Amino acid sequence: AETKAVAAAKVDARADKNSLKLDVNVFKEKIVHHLRCTIGTSEKKASKLAWWQALVATANELIFDRLTQTQYTHATKDTRAVHYLSAEFLMGRLTVNNLVSLEVYNTAKSALQELGIDINELCEEETDMALGNGGLGRLAACFMDSLATLAYPSVGYGIHYENGLFRQEIREGRQIERPDSWREYGCPWEVCRPESVQEVPIGGFVETQTAPDGSIRKVWHPEHMIKGVPWDIPVVGFRGASVTILRLWESRPTESFNWDVFNAGGYVDAQNEKAAVETISKVLYPNDSTEAGKMLRLTQQYFFSSCSLRDILRRYNRTHFHDYGEFAKKIAIQLNDTHPVIAIPELMRLLVDEEGISWDAAWEIVTEVFSYTNHTLLPEALEKWPVYIFEKLLPRHLEIIYEINYRFLNEVVEAKWSGDDEKKRKLSIIEEGPCKMVRMANLAVIASRKINGVAEIHSKLVRENLFPEFSTLWPDRFCNVTNGVTPRRWMLACNPGLAELYNEIAGKDWPLHLDSCAALRPYADDPQIQKRFMDIKFKNKVALAAEIKKLCGVEVDPHAMFDVQIKRLHEYKRQHLNLLYILHLYRKLLADPAMRIVPQVFIFGAKAAPAYTLAKNIIYAINVIGDKINNDYRIRNQLKVVFMPNYRVSLAEKIIPAADISEQISTAGYEASGTSNMKFSMNGALTLGTMDGANIEIVAEAGVENNFIFGMSVKDVQELKAKGYNPWDFYNSNQDLRAVVDWLDSDFFTEDRQALASIKHSLLEGGDPYMVLADFASYCAAHKRAEEMYADKARWAHAAIMNSASMGKFSSDRSIEDYVHNIWKLKNYEIKDEI
């Protein structure tokens, strides 16, 4: 029983917490207290960084208390939980988001103001946590926010990369990659959990032992042990509903590591081996949607998957004492693309080899527990690992994969397509050929309870084009969960003006029930609301213009139409189609100096994979063409082109609220979903895009008439491909197109003619794999419609409002509820102040 003193202390603690939330003076005292007693400096000499750290320490008082409450509730109720395994979590900055979620942002702002400090400046001190490449990683971050907000028992598992996605610098128009040491001086949001360290074996060989009774046992003799050190980052649900944990594993050498080398006087050699182990979590592979195929990459995947499974088993066995009868009732594991799919054979191995469960019982558990999300149809992203790499790193896992495959082919495929070797070859986990490969996607599908795509059309293509035979075998396994984004970060925190408008019109709960924003729709033609809405947009554009001036040195007019394309640089996303249109506009302006157009600013942000030469050339082209255009007095500032360097989450938060047009122009069938398209729309931008990914669902909600749809449909693309696509047909028959394509192969923009000519080359001799030329004419027409609408202020405001007010479906809360009901089958729990 609780002593009186403990009970009294709890009452005090709760009162303390409430006053911290509500009372500016208390908040102020706390910050100063932490500045002095946690950071060790004084108000007089504190740097901005120190003030920021003190602010974080203050917020952490509330966050860790809430975390403790959450974990207590889940432990006492022995809850079923989802474990989200992802090689990437693109969290961005946490300060504003956490303060907003704790509902202390205004208190903190006033407290700091009274101390003479601007909260915005402090928040700029925080380095983005860029532990992801793009869409897939940011989705994982939005999902963590929703899991915490909806209070579902959950853990995110990933890798504690020492270096996140590279920092991009632009020198003379070219991308330079710089290391991103986001926690060089520590990160105040994370805590290390030494009590949950894991050890993971790797390498070596497998011995087959025969017992006296004739039964066979496999014993793995690994070559090395790797220590996995967990770092926990609390994720705060809106209004503190619950606090969930993102647990990231850092690799370290084990204590016993090379003790012999050490003792033999090999201090330096031992350090080398130590460095080799630390390399595992050193750096995030900077490829978006392309497989790296490197030994180190598979090691990363295995390392974090194994640490996570061991952590799950440890927690389960605390209450179930190695009785696995309840395991599948308590545990759901979601595989974020194929990166963590090695967890499937690893769980088999842990259950069969280490826990002594029969193969059949283990397989039943495994196939109940795992589900798999596919995020792309690009063939170059489908992970395959050479068998020889497996033999070297994970020999026992390879045996298990062979066994899974043998049973699958001889029981399941044989039963359905008896004697059909072609089917077996296609569905096998092992790809035959000069270099035998392990197909991770096939393994994922064979072992998963549910397999989902991330937008309606994508899920359909996953079923029909990617896994047609599997979906014949198991039609019920395939489903769709359309992506979503968190309205807390992507509206409430990044667009306070708009948030205030929704507070008034829809009530203050709209960030929890985004559907309620539909309350603004009846006002879409109300001149006063239109003015209010467009004034908010204008103010955001003024702020972005200042940022553009600061970062790019380019002056832009906030009255101009802001046309934005921000995303990874990839041919399928077609930044070069955008560029061709810009050249086309520029050419028209030069041809007719008296011409007046709607003034336009084209804004780009994009990182290219360091080895993707054509993508880097496109960045270079945007920069040199922009430079020429921005300094050409003849066009009277009617056209500006800016490339904002080092695109990342925190930059997106500044750009998206200021956009008029959102460019979503992928070749139909290639963008699985897109998620920035949702953020733009929520913030009142109109989509100029193809019928691809989630664009289709977005315009269905917001109205096609309020957006600018162009180009070939998925079906058109398939038909043209089947017929034989020839880019020259389009080049030869469209003079405008031909002129701008040829312009790339000139020295008008740069001495380095080669770089720009390489784009032309890919579009013609290269066969134009993403059919840029085929969609050019229709793209120009869509722009024309956009320019006309922009000139009609009332019509534009109507469309902007209809977009923003119709995005209820695209809250990541809805996505998470879909996962919960169709896949995870979880219950959520109210977290009370109980302990």
Binding residues among 691-710 for ligand 6GP as defined by CB under 6 A: 693
Q: 202-209: long-range contacts (C-beta < 8 A, 24 or more apart)?
A: 202/226, 202/299, 202/302, 202/303, 202/393, 202/394, 203/392, 203/393, 204/395, 205/395, 206/395, 206/396, 206/399
Cβ-based nearer residue to ligand 6GP, 311 or 671: 671
Of 571, 671, 768, 813, which lies in the binding site for ligand 6GP, with binding defined by CB under 6 A? 671
Q: CB 117: neighbour CB atoms within 10 A?
A: 19
Cα-Cα-Cα-Cα dihedral sign, residues 696, 698, 701, 706: negative
Q: How far is CA 211 from the centre of its chain?
A: 49
Q: How many residues bind ligand 6GP (CB under 6 A)?
A: 18
* Stretch touching ligand 6GP by CB under 6 A, among 12-20, 134-142, 343-351, 419-427: 134-142
Cα-Cα-Cα-Cα dihedral sign, residues 411, 417, 419, 421: negative
Least distance between ligand 6GP and beta carbon 290 (Å):
8
Contact (CB, 8 A) for 346 and 220: no
Least distance between ligand 6GP and beta carbon 694 (Å):
7
Say whether residue 135 binds ligand 6GP (CB under 6 A).
yes
Euclidean distance between the first and the last CA atom of the chain, given in angstroms as a whole number: 12
Cβ-based nearer residue to ligand 6GP, 675 or 687: 675
Say whether residue 381 binds ligand 6GP (CB under 6 A).
yes
Say whether residue 375 binds ligand 6GP (CB under 6 A).
yes
Tokens of 129: 């946590």
- Is residue 573 annotated as part of the catalytic site, yes or no? yes
Say whether residue 288 binds ligand 6GP (CB under 6 A).
yes
Q: Rounded to whole angstroms, how far apart are CA atoms 657 and 537? A: 7
Say whether residue 687 binds ligand 6GP (CB under 6 A).
no
Contact (CB, 8 A) for 385 and 293: yes
Buried b (16+ CB within 10 A) or exposed e, 560-598: bbbbbbbbbbbbbbbbbbbbbbbbbbbeebeeeeeeeee
Sequence-separated (6 or more) residues with CB below 8 Å from residue 641: 582, 601, 602, 604, 622, 625, 626, 629, 630
Q: What are phi and psi of 647, to 5 degrees?
A: -60, 135
Q: Rounded to whole angstroms, how far apart are CA atoms 533 and 529? A: 6
Say whether residue 85 binds ligand 6GP (CB under 6 A).
no
* Stretch touching ligand 6GP by CB under 6 A, among 665-673, 701-709, 748-756, 780-788: 665-673
Residue sitting closest to ligand 6GP (CB): 135
Tokens of 756: 């720009």
Say whether residue 454 binds ligand 6GP (CB under 6 A).
yes
Least distance between ligand 6GP and beta carbon 338 (Å):
8
What Rg value do the Cα atoms of the chain yield, rounded? Answer: 28
Cβ-based nearer residue to ligand 6GP, 337 or 653: 337
Pairing of strands 216-221, 205-210: antiparallel
Cβ-based nearer residue to ligand 6GP, 135 or 228: 135
Least distance between ligand 6GP and beta carbon 674 (Å):
5
H-state helical runs in 683-820: 695-702, 714-723, 727-733, 735-744, 753-763, 772-791, 793-804, 812-819
Least distance between ligand 6GP and beta carbon 369 (Å):
22
Cβ-based nearer residue to ligand 6GP, 80 or 339: 339
Cα-Cα-Cα-Cα dihedral sign, residues 663, 669, 670, 675: positive
Binding residues among 731-760 for ligand 6GP as defined by CB under 6 A: none
* Stretch touching ligand 6GP by CB under 6 A, among 215-223, 530-538, 668-676, 756-764: 668-676
Least distance between ligand 6GP and beta carbon 337 (Å):
5
Say whether residue 128 binds ligand 6GP (CB under 6 A).
no
- Is residue 568 annotated as part of the catalytic site, yes or no? yes
Cβ-based nearer residue to ligand 6GP, 92 or 674: 674
Say whether residue 558 binds ligand 6GP (CB under 6 A).
no
Q: How far is CA 146 from the centre of its chain?
A: 14
Least distance between ligand 6GP and beta carbon 675 (Å):
5
Which position among 675, 687, 690, 750 bears the catalytic label?
675
Binding residues among 23-52 for ligand 6GP as defined by CB under 6 A: none
Least distance between ligand 6GP and beta carbon 615 (Å):
14
Say whether residue 376 binds ligand 6GP (CB under 6 A).
yes
Sequence-separated (6 or more) residues with CB below 8 Å from residue 474: none
Cβ-based nearer residue to ligand 6GP, 101 or 482: 482
Cβ-based nearer residue to ligand 6GP, 134 or 605: 134
Q: How far is CA 229 from the centre of its chain?
A: 23
In Å, how far are 260, 261, 271, 829 from 265, measured between CA atoms?
A: 9, 7, 12, 57
Least distance between ligand 6GP and beta carbon 689 (Å):
12
- Is residue 675 annotated as part of the catalytic site, yes or no? yes
Q: How far is CA 384 from the centre of its chain?
A: 22
Instruction: Work out the widest C-alpha separation in the chain, in whole angstroms.
Output: 96
Least distance between ligand 6GP and beta carbon 771 (Å):
18
Which position among 138, 315, 450, 568 bears the catalytic label?
568
Q: Rounded to whole angstroms, how far apart are CA atoms 164 and 141? A: 15
Cβ-based nearer residue to ligand 6GP, 251 or 483: 483
Cα-Cα-Cα-Cα dihedral sign, residues 395, 396, 401, 406: positive
- Is residue 567 annotated as part of the catalytic site, yes or no? yes
Which position among 477, 679, 760, 798 bears the catalytic label?
679
Contact (CB, 8 A) for 340 and 86: yes
Cβ-based nearer residue to ligand 6GP, 242 or 373: 373
Say whether residue 136 binds ligand 6GP (CB under 6 A).
yes
Q: Rounded to whole angstroms, how far apart are CA atoms 72 and 153? A: 11
DSSP 828: -
Say whether residue 675 binds ligand 6GP (CB under 6 A).
yes
Contact (CB, 8 A) for 382 and 291: yes
Cβ-based nearer residue to ligand 6GP, 444 or 454: 454
Per-residue x/- marks for ligand 6GP, 242-281, CB under 6 A?
----------------------------------------
Per-residue x/- marks for ligand 6GP, 315-354, CB under 6 A?
----------------------x-----------------
Cβ-based nearer residue to ligand 6GP, 337 or 563: 337
Which position among 138, 573, 760, 783 bears the catalytic label?
573
- Is residue 539 annotated as part of the catalytic site, yes or no? no
Say whether residue 483 binds ligand 6GP (CB under 6 A).
yes
Residue 707 burial by Cβ neighbours in a 10 Å radius (0-12, 13-18, 19+): buried
* Stretch touching ligand 6GP by CB under 6 A, among 113-121, 130-138, 276-284, 348-356: 130-138
Least distance between ligand 6GP and beta carbon 365 (Å):
27
Say whether residue 674 binds ligand 6GP (CB under 6 A).
yes
Say whether residue 673 binds ligand 6GP (CB under 6 A).
yes
Q: Rounded to whole angstroms, how far apart are CA atoms 334 and 83? A: 6
- Is residue 227 annotated as part of the catalytic site, yes or no? no
Say whether residue 139 binds ligand 6GP (CB under 6 A).
yes
Cβ-based nearer residue to ligand 6GP, 376 or 811: 376
Of 53, 98, 107, 289, which lies in the binding site for ligand 6GP, with binding defined by CB under 6 A? 289
Q: What are phi and psi of 226, to 5 degrees?
A: -115, 135
Q: How far is CA 756 from the centre of its chain?
A: 30
Q: What is the binding site for ligand 6GP (CB under 6 A)? A: 134-136, 139, 288-289, 337, 375-376, 381, 454, 483, 671-675, 693
The catalytic residue positions are 375, 567-568, 573, 675, 679
